[in-house]
Amino acid sequence: MGLSGLMFFFVISGYLMTAIIITGLHRNTFTLLGFYLARARRIMPALALLCLLLSLLGWLFLPTSDFKLASKHAISALLFYSNFQFWKEASYFDAASQEKWFLHTWSLSVEWQFYMLLPVFCMLLWRWRGEAITRLALLGCGLLSLLAACWLSPRNPEMAFFLLPTRAWEMVAGGVT
């Protein structure tokens, strides 16, 4: 998936998740546990199967050192911190990164981290200040994230690429539409 496709994916994801949360808050039916369980049921089975199959293939075909690294990446994917793992290791665009079997899971980690924070943020603001302030605060957070991305991109492009604070604006953009 190209960068524009990824941005589109984040925008759509932000739209859907924010709509689920705001609709549930409007109807007074939203529960944090229910939201998290629904996300886990949607994401975890496919991710676990992917990690299992790639790990099995790695065990069969990779040299030991590469298999150990792939196993570390599988664990980071399953625990939704692979974006941190890949950020620490190398640039997304270098040749070594292109050989990492689990590299694509970084965006799922960013998305999951957003899923963990967004409902808490919305619930607290909704109960404290209501819908209008919640939407305004989301917009403010999105603008701060965009500014952080613009500022950090030339200074530390890997950090700007992989981490939630500089990617959240894309999901928030979907959520405030």
User: What pLDDT was estimated at residue 94?
Assistant: 63
HEC per residue, the chain: CCHHHHHHHHHHHHHHHHHHHHHHHHHCCCCHHHHHHHHHHHHHHHHHHHHHHHHHHHHHHCCHHHHHHHHHHHHHHHCCCHHHHHHHHCCCCCHHHHCCCCHHHHHHHHHHHHHHHHHHHHHHHHHHHCHHHHHHHHHHHHHHHHHHHHHHCCCCHHHHHHCHHHCHHHHHHHHCC
pLDDT in tens, the chain (177 residues): 566 788 999 999 999 999 999 999 999 999 999 999 999 999 999 999 999 999 999 999 999 999 999 999 999 999 999 999 999 986 655 657 778 999 999 999 999 999 999 999 999 999 999 999 999 999 999 999 999 999 999 999 999 999 999 999 999 999 987
Question: pLDDT value at position 68?
Answer: 95
55 contacts 74 by C-beta, under 8 angstroms: yes
pLDDT for res 4: 77
- Predicted local confidence at residue 5, as pLDDT: 85
Q: What is the pTM of this model?
A: 0.91
What was the pLDDT predicted at 92? 54
According to the model, what pLDDT value does residue 93 have? 56
Structure tokens at 37: 């369980």
The pair of three-digit structure tokens given for residue 78, joined into one six-digit string: 């399953």
